[in-house]
Chains A and B, each alone.
Chain A
Amino acid sequence: MTEVVVPIGPHHPALKEPVNFKVVADGETIVRLELDVSYNHRGIEKAAEQRDFVRVVPLLERVCGICSHSHTTVFVKGIEEAMKVQIPPRAQYIRTIVAELERIHSHLLWFGVAAHEIGFNTLFMWTWRDREAVQDMLEEMTGNRVNYGINEVGGVRRDLTPEQIQAALKRLPHLEDRIAKYRDMVNKEATMMIRFRGVGKLSKDDILKLGAVGPTARASGVDYDIRKDDPYIAYADVPWQVITDTHGDVYGRTLVRIGELQQSLQIVRYCLENLPAGPIKITTPRAAPRGEILSRYEAPRGELVHFIRTNNTDKVERLDIRTPTLANWTSVAVSLVHQNLADIPVIVAAIDPCLSCTSRITIVNERGKKTGEMTWDELSAHGREFYRKRGRA
């Protein structure tokens, strides 16, 4: 079968995100793959340098619609650290609640989209229906279903009333048994097992070598979780533990995400039940002293890093955002070679790419079959050396 170049995306029903794969497939197996994701670059970092701390938060809220709270929390936490200011515990708890609710809705969303990738639409409909309960909670607490806008430098903008807390607590049990149902469905349902097991497998040292983060890394046994390694807001005093798995394939990542869903529900329940009293924000100075902060945060997709350089004005001198999906692209590109054409959406969905966070391109070329002129790239250099070693090992 001759080589066929299949362009998938940027307009593609499976990937709700503008990513473009130029896949050279021999029959059904992928020989070479070009992944172009730079459709979403908007120049946010440049704009952030021209906005003061009050006006930059709405901009950072919209770096990515699904993990919007992550970007504002990591930025605001960094600025508060630069100003050496401590926000009241109630604000920290409220931030944790909204952060974990965002993780729940993001993981449920991912689970539905992953099921949709393999054509299993029923699970897509069910998970997104349960996600509506989380959206209602978020809407009651923060006023908006997505892009909550609850963070600001020095604390939180809205307080939680007792009725909201009771309403949220009433919804948690239903979510808990739904997620328990999904957990054993993943282990029992035949087509999901066939399509998820052994697909896009990455061993532990692959992950460490390729720098993958978040559930993708934890599914191969790497137990990096910023909430544990470098605790921030209220994670230090909330009882929870890191979920890891050893399968390393799409199935393993699904299990890790379902485990994290259950952990997040526990955290939200704990924070709601013993929400400390007190003010929800403090007045902060207009300008941040000169300094350099590396603010890290565990977004639903992995480790999100904001590098903030402040120069005692009310604007940021430099904001460098490294998003979790950017770190995961290298590993997904390498794991895609040799897989089937039909597996691309599943494997890519497995890292739950949030394209609006990242916009980068990787080219992976597996030296096996030479297809026309060789495209130059550091990953192909890495890919060749990686596969030659694997071939010999």
Chain B
Amino acid sequence: MDPILLAVYILLFPGFLFLLAYAFFFQFLDRKIAARMQARVGPPLLQPFADFVKMLGKEVIDVKGMDRKAFDAAPLLALAAVMTAFLYVPIVGNSPLAFQGDLILVLYLLTLPTIVLFLLGWLSRNVFATIGGVRAVTQMFIYEVPFFLALLTPALMAGSWSITDIVAWQQSHLWFAVLQPIGFVVALIGLQAKLERTPFDIPEAETEIVAGPWTELTGRRLAMMRLTMDVSMVVGSALVAALFLGGPRIPWTITPDWLSWIVGFGLFFVKTLGVLLVLASIKVATGRLRIDQLNDVGWKYLASAAILQVLIVLLMNYWWVSA
């Protein structure tokens, strides 16, 4: 790809501008679905954008004795990490920046926000924030292993570490959601935990420790961190859609190039919204777990399911692929 088209790809269309707009749209949809399920009307379309701009305009309060520079830099670091992760997920066809191992890079970039939350909790010198930060990291240890296992098994079967190749492999075989159902479920639950949504929103438990690591965030820092969470929701669901639901590809190829792009984008749009619907209904249908209960649930059920899935994949690889 020549550099200008690449720049357009990164900055404009399936890149950052689209990602920001899509993140706001995702937050709107998430709150709207949750509200409708709770018999409420729910926010208007531009509400997330209005919230974002208002938060930018608010006064920024620095707690006495806080490291201002680090506190300003941390949300930006998390936002940057999550937005770069979006470039490796195929949206319109295969992503031009794909390389062997971009799945690992995306997974690494997606864990950065949780670590930044812990950092924020620690930096803001507030007992609620510190406890929230500690809980965020404890929760990360619980769901991270099963989440990685669930997302790496498609790579095992497709035989390549690049998301684009996995999507291409699925074009000629069944989707991984059909081939590896356990992995699909574990991935969805892991994604819900990574985004710290209701069954797993223990760090930000509004009713126990005020707002957890978010307590001392004000003004633009809060805006950036809230945006990071929305963007990571988009990237997470796009990743799960790509790995398990076949990404923006359909089995038979369409001749004119631009038509296949549009169909690809349409598929990407529908699949990510499907994942969002599942996430939103999980959020609405459950209450919050305690951190020690999450520990039991996480290790007993999630981890064993993920390991079982890996075993099945290895067996299938041995018999089916080699035969």
Contact = CB atoms under 8 A, between A and B. Distances in A.
Q: Do chains A and B make direct contact within the complex (CB under 8 angstroms)?
A: yes
Contacts of A120: 286-288
A117 B128 contact: no
B313 interface: no
A7 interface: yes
Contact of B287 (A4, A118, A344): A118
A341 B207 CA distance: 11
B285 A122 contact: yes
A191 B287 CA distance: 5
A6 B128 contact: yes
Majority secondary structure of chain B interface residues (helix, strand, loop or mixed): loop
A194 B210 contact: no
A393 interface: no
Interface residues of A, number: 32
A340 B135 CA distance: 13
A343 B207 CA distance: 10
A122 B199 contact: no
A13 B207 contact: yes
Contacts of A118: 207, 287-288
B293 interface: yes
B39 interface: yes
A5 B127 CA distance: 8
A117 B207 contact: yes
Interface string A170-195: 00000000000000000001111011
Contacts of A14: 206-208
Nearest to A124: B38
A212 B273 CA distance: 51
B163 interface: no
Contacts of A117: 207
A345 interface: yes
A86 B291 CA distance: 58
Contact of B290 (A7, A116, A122, A195): A195
Given A122-B37, A345-B207, A345-B208, A28 B201 contact: no
A345 B210 CA distance: 12
B292 interface: yes
Contacts of A5: 127
A28 B210 CA distance: 16
Contacts of B287: 115, 118-120, 189, 191-192, 195
A6 B201 contact: no
Interface of A: 4-8, 12-14, 28, 115-122, 125-126, 129, 189-192, 194-195, 340-345
